[in-house]
């Protein structure tokens, strides 16, 4: 681990620098870096002073191969998202672990399947179908609000602020059982957790020192912990038919879940589902606003909506990466990976892999098959994928018939983040039917 990369495996410095630069994710330069890597060094090694060395996995086939071998490539042994050395050191001092939280994402067998089994049934299509009528009501109210905003503003609104941010948040909070009045707090905490590199959402706006950055994340986790402890006490005393009741009362090996694991569980459910779904939802509207012919097609044929949803998730790929680490020496793609090596699975690159997707950069709502890896793959495959797709389908079923014209009304701005990113502002001009 940490040995210098040989000449053919080393990634050029400018490309490696792009991978760790949040600004490159906001202005799309990251796709130039991915394209270069897929063509020239699909399993290369990045060596940058501020980071431990890491392998960069950019081809679809290699992402699948690593994700399906959960014994050989662990989640929990090292940081699960790309983190610089200084922050890693602080996190380790705070928790004694490579990660601040211990949710499903930061677990491996034997714990991971036990914890995942607690809520897996909740997220299956057969169970979440019962929320469809309520989700449809929320979608209708969301479209009404958007129409009112646009009407009051010459037909223009910001799709992110007025629709994409609030809608998935509201859905997951209802399913989890968090009262509506607390939603702004949850949104802010999620943005601080996932987007602390973006100057608009960071608690501290000037360039962050590692100490400030780690302390800020710790404060966010502490806020979540305090909030969900109250929810736990309430659901133990007064169980309800919500997901919080399942988590509050869950037993692991016959015992209550340890506090840190429980907070982490609430946090992953509360946070994983809205910034991600918001970004894909905004991605669909962005693509349709730029392509009137495709907008007309999907409006005329609602059967294209599930394809629109899948393509928006592929095209936007809100989760840009997760990290894994090797548990033994192995060989992959002609490279010798050593035990302990850190690997970056670049989902957003796999989803533009020319070997799998024709016209990979183009948004095509009739793309079939659409075997994207935006939800990951293998044992950690996104637990909320059916919910995300259900929410998006229902929103577009409600919105598209009411939209008779859609176009961009200004430049789209993306969040600056190397982990989860997507549109930050998406000004659109609409005519409502
Ligand atoms: C895991 C993406 C929506 C809950 C993941 C992973 C990805 C992902 C890439 C990691 C998979 C891996 O490591 O192999 C997305 C995207 C979404 C989305 C792109 C929206 C478009 C949701 C929603 C929820 C959710 C709505 C519901 C609360 C989770 C959970 C995990 C997870 C709990 C951890 C699963 C595990 O480690 O076993 N998601 N997600 N996600 N997601 Fe999602």
On the question of a cis peptide bond just before residue 393, with omega within 30 degrees of 0, the verdict is: no
Q: How far is the CA of 78 from the centre of ligand 1 (A)?
A: 19
Nearest CA to ligand 1 atom 6: 382
pLDDT tens by residue, 385-429? 999 999 999 999 999 999 999 999 999 999 999 999 999 999 999
| pLDDT, position 2 | 46
Counting from 1 in the atom list of ligand 1, the atom nearest the Cα of 377 is 14
Q: Is the CB of 232 under 6 A from ligand 1?
A: no
CA distance 411 to 94: 41
| pLDDT, position 377 | 98
Structure tokens at 68: 């399906």
**Cα atoms found within 13 Å of the Cα of residue 288, Cβ hemisphere only:** 30
Ligand 1 site-directed mutation target among 64, 272, 348, 377, most atoms within 8 Å of CB: 272
Nearest CA to ligand 1 atom 4: 384
Whole-complex ipTM = 0.99
R_g of the chain, CA atoms, integer Å: 21
| pLDDT, position 187 | 83
| pLDDT, position 196 | 57
- Residues 342-375 as b or e (16 or more Cβ within 10 Å = b): bbbbbbbbbbbbeebbeebeebbbebeebebbbb
Nearest CA to ligand 1 atom 32: 382
Counting from 1 in the atom list of ligand 1, the atom nearest the Cα of 345 is 13
Structure tokens at 307: 């394809």
- Residues 5-32 as b or e (16 or more Cβ within 10 Å = b): beeebbbeeebbebbbbbebbbeeebbe
pLDDT tens by residue, 50-106? 999 999 999 999 999 999 999 999 999 999 999 999 889 888 888 889 998 899 999
| pLDDT, position 273 | 86
CA distance 69 to 378: 8
Q: How far is the CA of 199 from the centre of ligand 1 (A)?
A: 25
Q: What DSSP string describes 115-183? A: HHHHHHGGGSHHHHGGGHHHHHHHHHHHHHHHHHHHHTTTTEEEHIIIIITHHHHHHHHHHHT--GGGH
CA distance 431 to 433: 7
Counting from 1 in the atom list of ligand 1, the atom nearest the Cα of 112 is 38
Question: Against a cut of 0.90, is the pTM above it?
Answer: yes
| pLDDT, position 199 | 64
Helices and strands (H and E) in the chain: how many: 19, 14
| pLDDT, position 204 | 46
| pLDDT, position 1 | 43
pLDDT beneath 50, residues of the chain: 1-2, 203-206
């Amino acid at each position: 681990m940490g040995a210098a990369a040989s000449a053919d495996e080393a990634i050029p410095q400018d490309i490696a620098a792009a991978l760790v630069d949040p600004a490159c994710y906001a202005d799309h330069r990251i796709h130039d870096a991915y394209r270069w890597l897929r063509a020239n060094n699909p399993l290369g090694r990045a060596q940058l002073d501020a980071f431990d060395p890491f392998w960069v996995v950019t081809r679809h086939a290699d992402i699948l191969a690593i994700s399906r071998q959960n014994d050989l490539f662990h989640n929990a042994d090292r940081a699960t998202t790309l983190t610089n050395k200084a922050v890693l050191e602080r996190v380790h001092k705070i928790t004694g672990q490579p990660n601040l939280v211990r949710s499903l994402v930061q677990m491996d067998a034997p714990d991971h399947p036990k914890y995942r089994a607690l809520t897996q049934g909740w997220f299956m299509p057969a169970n979440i179908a019962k929320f469809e009528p309520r989700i449809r009501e929320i979608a209708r109210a969301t479209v009404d609000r958007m129409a009112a905003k646009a009407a009051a503003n010459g037909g223009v609104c910001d799709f992110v602020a007025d629709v994409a941010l609030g809608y998935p948040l509201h859905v997951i909070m209802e399913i989890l059982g968090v009262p509506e009045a607390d939603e702004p707090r949850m949104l802010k905490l999620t943005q601080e957790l996932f987007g602390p590199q973006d100057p608009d959402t960071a608690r501290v706006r000037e360039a962050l020192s590692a100490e400030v950055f780690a302390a800020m994340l710790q404060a966010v986790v502490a806020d979540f912990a305090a909030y969900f402890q109250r929810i736990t006490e309430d659901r133990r005393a007064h169980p309800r038919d919500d997901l919080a009741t399942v988590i509050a009362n869950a037993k692991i090996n016959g015992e209550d879940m340890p506090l840190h694991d429980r907070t982490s569980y609430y946090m992953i459910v509360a946070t994983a589902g809205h910034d991600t779904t918001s970004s894909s939802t905004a991605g669909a509207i962005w693509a349709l606003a730029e392509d009137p012919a495709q907008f007309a097609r999907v409006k005329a044929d609602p059967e294209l909506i599930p394809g629109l949803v899948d393509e928006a998730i592929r095209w936007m790929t809100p989760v840009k990466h997760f990290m894994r680490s090797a548990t033994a020496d192995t060989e992959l793609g002609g490279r010798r990976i050593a035990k302990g090596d850190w690997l970056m699975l670049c989902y957003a690159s796999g989803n533009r892999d020319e070997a799998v997707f024709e016209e990979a950069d183009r948004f095509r709502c009739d793309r079939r098959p659409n075997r994207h890896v935006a939800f990951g793959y293998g044992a950690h495959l996104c637990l909320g994928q059916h919910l995300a797709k259900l929410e998006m389908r229902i929103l577009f079923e409600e919105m598209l018939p009411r939209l008779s014209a859609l176009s961009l009304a200004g430049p789209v701005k993306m969040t600056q983040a190397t982990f989860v990113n997507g549109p930050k502002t998406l000004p659109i001009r609409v005519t409502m039917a």
